Amino acid sequence: MTAPEAGRGIGNGESAAEITTTFVGLPRDSFRILHVSTGNVCRSPMTERLTRHFVTQRLGVLGGGLIVESAGTWGHEGAPMESNAETVLADFGADASGFTGRELLDEHVIMADLVLTATRDHRAQVISMGHSAGLRTFTLKEFTRLVRAIDPTTLPPLEDGVVLRARALVRAAAALRGWLLAPTAEADEVYDPYGAPLGFFRSVGDEIHQALDPVVTALTGVPARM
């Protein structure tokens, strides 16, 4: 990707117009992951920053055209991340700095190659926006379940680039949907910790970590360091 944002993702404080001006019309040599929750101050910021952190741990850098960002269906535009969410990120050694919340817009969905939502309701809201989002929108835990069933040897090697591998991963997961159902509806949910004590935030952070680990491993081809 030739834009200045390549390798670090766009700042969450950018307007829709700025996003459109910056990215529409650029070559498709990037892969954009969009995490979606309600307010974009708790779950999706934690998931965004943990994804960046875990990918960097595996590869040494967040780059190769991979962009990770977040938004909220009722996003608190310009709001800071909840302090308890920042504490959870610090527990994992992840960077919480410079974050500002934003409301989910059409442009975000249009440009996303993979949308991972906190709940089924969020997934339904993203899909209802149109833009052929159905095949690339999953709840986080749903995507994890599908990814676990994919033989990693069927994916392009990382030497061919993380973008090519990520696109193949999404196609494979979409092909499995409908065959691998959740044991319960609640199994695909990450519950909202907004207003909860730090202990609940930490339990949600652990849930997100456990869900992200196999996804990042499949994406990068590198398992987590013990």
Pairing verdict, β 137-139 and 66-72: unpaired
Which residues partner with 36 through β-bridges?
71, 117
**pTM for this predicted structure:** 0.86
Per-residue pLDDT, 178: 84
pLDDT of res. 186: 87
Please say whether the dihedral angle defined by the alpha carbons of residues 146, 150, 115 and 126, taken in this order, is positive or negative: negative
Give the model's pLDDT for residue 24.
38
Both tokens assigned to 157: 């090697």
Residue pair 71/108 in contact (Cβ under 8 Å)? The answer is: yes
pLDDT of residue 28: 61
pLDDT confidence of residue 3: 29
pLDDT recorded at residue 22: 32
Residue pLDDT tens, the chain, 226 long: 222 232 323 334 333 333 332 333 334 689 999 999 999 999 999 999 999 999 999 998 888 899 999 999 998 999 999 999 999 999 999 999 999 999 999 999 999 999 999 999 999 999 999 999 999 999 999 999 999 999 999 999 999 999 999 999 999 999 999 888 888 878 999 999 999 999 999 999 999 999 999 999 999 998 887 5
Beta carbons within 8 Å of 78's beta carbon, 6+ residues apart: 13, 100, 101, 102
**Residues paired with 116 in a beta bridge:** 35, 138
